[in-house]
Amino acid sequence: MTDTATVKLPEQLVVINVGLELFADTLREQQQAVTHVQWEPPAQGDAELLDMLDALL
Amino acid sequence: MPVRVMVRPREYHDSVRLMQLSERVRRESGVDEAILMMATENNKKILRASGVLTSEASAARADDLVVAVVAATEAQAEAAMTLATEQLAQRAASAGVRHAPRTLDSALAAAPESNLALISVPGLYAAREARRALEQGLHVLLFSDNVSLADELALKRLASSKGLLLMGPDCGTSILDGVALGFANSVARGPVGIVGASGTGIQEISVLLDRMGLGISHAIGTGGRDLKEAIGGITMLQGLQVLAADSATQLIVLTSKPPAASVARTVLEAAAWVGKPVLVNFLGADQLPAAQGSLHYAASLEETALTAGALLSASKQLPLLNPAAIAQLAGQLAGRLQRQQRYIRALYAGGTLCYEALLHLRSELDQVYANVADSEESRYDGQGRRPGHILLDMGDDAYTLNRAHPMIDPTLRMQRILQEAADPEVAVLVLDLVLGFGAHVDPASLLVETLRQARAEAQRGDRYLAVIATICGTDADSQGLSRQADILRQADVLVVNSNAEAARLAVAVIKSATATGG
């Protein structure tokens, strides 16, 4: 079963964009607040290393 | 053929940005080839095949950027490289930040009032990012695909328990409070709320409503698998709840392909209790129930818009062609075809638009094949020549492995158009243009360039090529619906007023052509 809490949409959308710059562009075109994360594959893309890092966090 | 290659060390740009820049440099400087790529092993193969893998590029690391141009003159090459450099520098400038945050956590530290994360990282990393965002109390729009079903369920359960939306995975479109997220059109604000498992389904319905003077309150994307049994419609149910409680929403539209039976039951039960009219568009459902109480049904995207218009007394009609007008137009086009031209080739950027067209063609014609067909015998993956009517969703995974979606990078579709034009049995091309945020800056002009070549090819065989286009867009989109339509019409493209109309007209042309035996 899924626990559900009521969804409340924010009054004012403030976005963090993680990934394609294209999407940050489209938000800026709309004068929308957006923080773009310059995301790059972590740990040289090593999945096992990633898991280890996660366990540490 | 002057070749210039530059390696910019430790400079990362995402693949879509690089494709956009490549295309722009090519277009604006007129060079034969402009390639911007990260120097991964895979990309080095592509660079080698293009004759631009210099020893410097070969020695580059996967996190180095390679910029290569092949020009007709030194001056042109120089100009192209300058343009590329300027464009690459612009990104940092426009961001207004010298050092953009590199993680979600640091972004949140810099902007603690953030309330939504739009995530489009490769699938392998996407679930982690989404989980982190949800744990931090952010809603999530998850554009990434290649996220496992198990991860999707876990993420949606987490979201649900915290009263957050996880829109996705594989969700490219949402509109929240008038703000377009991902690929979406500029549509008016108004009383219709949409919850949809399909991006271009949401887009088409929203632009048709806009054309009728009806606006959108919110459009909530659920991701393509939300209505599978394993997921149970978690996000669609949340969307229903949000729109039920939203005072601006008077009519709720649910759009997707038919859900798993158990999920359909749950969703419809919830919809019946919402206390507002709910219009259900399960595209391709075998049988439509009769309208009952507050529940209404529509078979196609177009019918969804028309039904919503009727329920809300829309101020404007969709300027659709009546059957007589279709027959007349079809007759005119059919009259220009040769006897052996008997097939439709529909090449789509919008997956759901392709599917809507497939449903119509299948109901009216034999020998209909598609890469998105439900049945094995109707499936055609696009490889090799195949007689018959063919529909291709060019945004399907098979086509987008190493290329951006056709809404961003039209190259593969343009190539396919030329291929179809050379086929003497092809009578009609059907194409969709998707406008709006995230889409190409001027898809009509690009298309017209390719059609010129395509028509020349057909001319060599004394053939006329009928071309029908549907434009998913509005005049408020930056590309401008009317402007794009004019460009196409001037190139002898028949521009219709809905995707369903494009399918109807294409079928009518074939029927007219085969009836007269000409």
Q: How far is it, in rounded angstroms, from Cα B501 to Cα B400?
A: 27
Q: Which residue has the tokens 């419809």?
A: B268
B518 — pLDDT class (breaks 50, 70, 90): very low
pLDDT of residue B396 exceeding 90, the answer is no
The residue-averaged pLDDT of B242-256 equals 98
Separation in Å, CA of B14 to nearest CA in chain A: 6
Q: How far is it, in rounded angstroms, from Cα B284 to Cα B305?
A: 16
The residue-averaged pLDDT of B286-299 equals 86
A17 chain-B contacts, CB cut-off 8 A: 117-118, 120
A8 chain-B contacts, CB cut-off 8 A: 163
Contact A19 B121 (CB under 8 A): yes
The model's pTM is 0.92
The residue-averaged pLDDT of B328-350 equals 96
Percent of chain B at pLDDT exceeding 70: 97
What's the complex ipTM? 0.90
The residue-averaged pLDDT of B479-494 equals 98
Q: What is the pLDDT of residues B341-381, one digit of tens each?
A: 999 999 999 999 999 999 999 999 999 999 988 888 899 98
- Is the CB of residue B282 less than 8 Å from the CB of residue B259? yes
Q: What is the pLDDT of residues B422-452, one digit of tens each?
A: 999 999 999 999 999 999 999 999 999 999 9
Query: Closest Cα to residue B235, out of A19, A4, A10?
Result: A4
Q: How far is it, in rounded angstroms, from Cα B264 to Cα B257?
A: 11
Q: Give the residue, B145 or B91, on which the prediction is more confident.
A: B145
Q: What is the pLDDT of residues B101-142, one digit of tens each?
A: 999 999 999 999 999 999 999 888 999 999 999 999 999 999
B217 — pLDDT class (breaks 50, 70, 90): very high
B294 — pLDDT class (breaks 50, 70, 90): very high
Q: What is the 3-state secondary structure (H, E, C) of B170-204?
A: CCCEEEECCEEEECECCCCEEEEEEEECCHHHHHH
Contact A15 B114 (CB under 8 A): yes
Q: How far is it, in rounded angstroms, from Cα B201 to Cα B355?
A: 10
Percent of chain B at pLDDT exceeding 90: 81
Q: What is the pLDDT of residue B409?
A: 80
Contacts of B160 (CB under 8 A, 6+ apart): A2, A3, A4, A5, B234, B238
Interface with chain B: mutation pick from A8, A13, A20, A27, highest number of B CBs within 10 Å: A20
Q: What is the pLDDT of residue A38?
A: 87
Q: What is the pLDDT of residues B301-327, one digit of tens each?
A: 999 999 999 999 999 999 999 999 999
Nearest Cβ partner for A22 among B17, B139, B156: B17
A40 chain-B contacts, CB cut-off 8 A: 12, 63, 102
- Is the CB of residue B171 less than 8 Å from the CB of residue B226? no
**Chain mean pLDDT for chain B:** 93
Q: What is the pLDDT of residues A3-57, one digit of tens each?
A: 789 999 998 999 999 999 999 999 999 999 999 998 887 655 555 555 555 555 5
Note whether A5 contacts B: Cβ–Cβ < 8 A: yes
B125 chain-A contacts, CB cut-off 8 A: 41-42, 50
Note whether A52 contacts B: Cβ–Cβ < 8 A: no
B102 chain-A contacts, CB cut-off 8 A: 37-40
The residue-averaged pLDDT of B243-260 equals 96
Tokens of A44: 């040289």
Look at chain B and count its residues: 518
Separation in Å, CA of B310 to nearest CA in chain A: 29
Interface with chain B: mutation pick from A3, A7, A17, A27, highest number of B CBs within 10 Å: A7
Q: What is the pLDDT of residue B386?
A: 83
Contact A20 B120 (CB under 8 A): yes
Q: How far is it, in rounded angstroms, from Cα B355 to Cα B360?
A: 9
Contact A21 B177 (CB under 8 A): no
The residue-averaged pLDDT of B50-79 equals 93
Amino acid at position A9, single letter: L
First to last CA, chain B: 48
Q: Put the strands of the sheet holding A34-37 in their side by side order.
A: A34-37, A15-18, B116-119, B139-142, B166-167
The residue-averaged pLDDT of B251-257 equals 97
Tokens of B252: 């709720």
B411 — pLDDT class (breaks 50, 70, 90): confident
Nearest Cβ partner for A29 among B238, B245, B437: B437
B146 — pLDDT class (breaks 50, 70, 90): confident
Percent helix, strand and coil across chain B, each to the nearest 5: 40, 20, 40
